[in-house]
Amino acid sequence: MNTEPFTKKQMKHLRELAGIGYERDLERCMSVLHEQFEKWKQKEISVWDLNEKIHKFHNQIARDLYKSYTINDPLFPVIFGIKSGVLTIDEVQEKCRPEIEELLKSLDRQLTD
């Protein structure tokens, strides 16, 4: 693993990727919420059930996503986005990939131990 920090240009790239991951993850979660609106329109759930889903989305899901993607160090949100499936390693600049790949492998090892 590279012991030198990322350059400013690489950090900018990682911040941009974190933003893309956040947007994609938020869109995924909004799609699930949208499905609840459709269920309500079809009278499959009550307005109270829909209200509860909206409340849960706002107070839990959206806040958790925000915290996951907007921490100061963009490296971890990028790792989170890759592990969540909203980013791919191919989207990471080649110069940043070795560090990201090593962290992903280390995380996988820790999760399987």
Tell me, yes or no, whether 68 lies in a domain. Answer: yes
Tell me, yes or no, whether 25 lies in a domain. Answer: yes
Question: What residues in the chain have per-residue pLDDT under 70?
Answer: 1-4
Q: Are 74 and 103 in contact (CB under 8 A)?
A: no
> Per residue in 21-46, pLDDT tens?
999 999 999 999 999 999 999 999 99
Give the C-alpha separation, 109 to 8, whole Å. Answer: 29
Give the C-alpha separation, 104 to 9, whole Å. Answer: 22
Give the C-alpha separation, 23 to 47, whole Å. Answer: 28
Tell me, yes or no, whether 1 lies in a domain. Answer: no
**Number of domains composing the chain:** 1
* Enclosing domain of residue 38: 8-112
